[in-house]
């Protein structure tokens, strides 16, 4: 066995050219990957803007809410006692949700504590299924309408899609589970 055999090194010019060509290909591939990511981001942004425009167009097609009552309108719930006022508030909230295209899941009237008997406020809790546009209509109606109703708490959760058609449907507004706790005030009987 020969220990002093000559090892032939490749031509240094050819090796240098190959290294430069290889580095150029790597830089070009990384550049194309970055450009592709930027283009994908632009498409996602464009799709989000189109979805927003479609939602605004749907809102424009919705019926206009009744004009706000005159400033002299009664801001109190109808009813001379707690039961009548709470019933009036419950009917008001259910009507608003149903007019907006929502579905009532549950409604409850919170009974006042013994210390709150003189506060003259009625509290109603509602759980409903709405889409974004209907939720906006309900909240606007509560804010601008009469009688005066205060939103004490609002919890909104997106409902899970039940089938593949709902998961892939980007045109429709997602369905939401809305838990709403509202407070209204009543005058009570005159002393």
CA angle 162-163-167, nearest 5°? 95
Is the pLDDT at 65 greater than 50? The verdict is yes
96 and 143 co-located in one domain: yes
Phi-psi region of 171 (alpha: psi -120 to 50; beta: other; left: phi over 0): alpha
Q: State the residue range of the domain holding 48.
A: 11-61
Q: Work out the pLDDT band at 147, boundaries 50, 70, 90.
A: confident
How many domains does the structure of the chain reveal? 2
Q: Answer yes or no: are the C-beta atoms of 166 and 58 closer than 8 Å.
A: no
Instruction: Give the model confidence (pLDDT) of 127-140 as tens digits.
Output: 999 988 889 888 88
Write down the H helix ranges in 103-155: 132-144
The answer to the question of residue 74 being in a domain is no
For β-strands 121-131 and 149-158, DSSP reports them as unpaired
Q: Work out the pLDDT band at 159, boundaries 50, 70, 90.
A: confident
56 and 145 co-located in one domain: no
55 and 105 co-located in one domain: no
Q: Work out the pLDDT band at 6, boundaries 50, 70, 90.
A: low
29 and 116 co-located in one domain: no
The answer to the question of residue 72 being in a domain is no
89 and 118 co-located in one domain: yes
Is the pLDDT at 5 greater than 70? The verdict is no
The answer to the question of residue 163 being in a domain is yes
Read off the CATH number of the domain in which 131 is found. 3.30.70.60
pLDDT of residue 26: 95
140 and 103 co-located in one domain: yes
The answer to the question of residue 69 being in a domain is no
| Preceding peptide of 147 cis, ω within 30° | yes
pLDDT of residue 41: 93
The answer to the question of residue 106 being in a domain is yes
88 and 177 co-located in one domain: yes
Is the pLDDT at 122 greater than 80? The verdict is yes
pLDDT of residue 164: 56
90 and 137 co-located in one domain: yes
Kindly tell me the number of DSSP H helices and DSSP E strands found in the chain: 4, 4
Task: Tell me the whole-structure pTM to 2 decimals.
Answer: 0.57
User: Mean pLDDT over all residues of the chain?
Assistant: 81
The answer to the question of residue 159 being in a domain is yes
Separation between Cα atoms, residue 118 and residue 178, nearest integer Å: 30
104 and 44 co-located in one domain: no
Q: Answer yes or no: are the C-beta atoms of 135 and 154 closer than 8 Å.
A: no
């Amino acid at each position: 066995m020969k220990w002093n055999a000559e090892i032939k090194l490749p031509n240094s010019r050819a090796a240098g050219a190959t290294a430069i060509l290889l580095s150029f290909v790597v830089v070009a591939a990384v550049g194309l990957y970055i450009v592709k990511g930027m283009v994908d981001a632009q498409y996602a942004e464009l799709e989000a803007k189109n979805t927003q425009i479609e939602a605004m167009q749907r809102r424009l097609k919705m019926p206009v809410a009744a004009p706000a009552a005159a400033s002299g309108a009664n801001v109190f719930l109808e009813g001379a006692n707690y039961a009548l006022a709470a019933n009036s508030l419950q009917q008001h909230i259910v009507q608003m949700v149903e007019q907006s295209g929502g579905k009532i899941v549950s409604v409850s009237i919170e009974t006042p504590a013994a210390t709150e008997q003189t506060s003259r406020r009625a509290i109603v809790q509602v759980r409903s299924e709405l889409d974004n546009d209907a939720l906006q209509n309900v909240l606007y109606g509560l804010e601008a309408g009469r009688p005066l109703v205060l939103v004490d708490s609002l919890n909104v959760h997106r409902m899970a899609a039940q089938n593949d058609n709902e998961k892939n449907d980007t045109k429709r507004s997602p369905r939401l589970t809305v838990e709403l706790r509202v407070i209204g005030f009543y005058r009570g009987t005159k002393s």
